Structure 1
Amino acid sequence: MDQTLILLTMVGMGVVTYLPRLLPILFLSGRTLKPLMVAWLRLVPPAVLAAMLLPALLVPEKRVDLSFDNIFFWTALVAFPVSWKSKSLFATVLVGMGLVALARYCGLGN
């Protein structure tokens, strides 16, 4: 592959990554948002995370898997209330990883 193409691809990826972060700062700095807009924006990160995680948890191998062998789904069901109650990413990840490790140690799941 041509080195110029690789460089242009890297620059393009940087621009595509940087612009969505820069534009809100440029357009919204110095403005006061309405409380409804602030409340709505606060829900965007959990919604995006759920949209990315749910298919991976429910459809790990091109079919919906709610069996007991899908340890990631069952672990997520336990980690979700921990996340909701503690509001701590560290606690959520610790509980999730601990439960997956325990399930694998006990010979459950894949």
Structure 2
Amino acid sequence: MNDLTLWGLFVAVGIATLVLRLAFIEGHGRWSVPPLLQRALQYVPASVLAALVAPAVVLPPAGSDVLVDWPRLLAAVIAALMAWFFRNTLYSLLAGMGSLLAMQNLLPLWIG
């Protein structure tokens, strides 16, 4: 790829980014979001968080012979229960990370 093609690509991507962002800025207030889409967008943060956390919980650690990483699975269950009962993201994150850190650091001391 020569320099002119590379610079053309940079300019094209920059213009596309500018047009995409400008469309939302200029369109604010002019377009209305349908109620069905508004209800669906309420679930985006929870689904993104689940998509980020699920592979870390379900997949075994790289280079490990372990099929299930029990501390991560138990911490995920604790975080899910906290989210279910308290309906607070901060509480569930603190409970999940706190229990995971406790199990990873204290469990080897208890087992021996």
**Same-fold status (TM-score > 0.5):** yes
In structure 2, what is the equivalent of residue 87 of structure 1?
A: 87
Aligned residues: 92
Look up the equivalent residue of 2:39 and give its one-letter code. Answer: A
Q: Which has the higher contact order (CA 8 A, sep 6+)?
A: 1
Equivalent residue of 2:61, what SS?
coil
1:99 is displaced (CA, Å) by: 1.0
- Write out aligned runs for 1:21-100 (5 A): 22=21, 25-26=24-25, 29-30=28-29, 31-62=31-62, 65-66=67-68, 69-100=69-100
Unaligned 5+ segments in structure 2 are: 1-6
Q: 1:91 to 1:33 in 2, by over 3 A?
A: same
Highest Rg: 1 or 2? Answer: 2
1:46-69 alpha-carbon deviations (Å, 9 max, x no partner): 222222221121113358833xx4
Shift of 1:29: 1.5
- The answer for unaligned runs of 5 or more in structure 1 is 1-7
Q: Percent identity?
A: 26
TM-score scaled by length of structure 1? 0.60
1:91 CA drift (Å): 0.8
Whole-Å separation in 2 of the counterparts to 1:78 and 1:60: 19
TM-score, reference length from structure 2? 0.59
Partner Cα distance (1:22, 1:64) in 2: 46
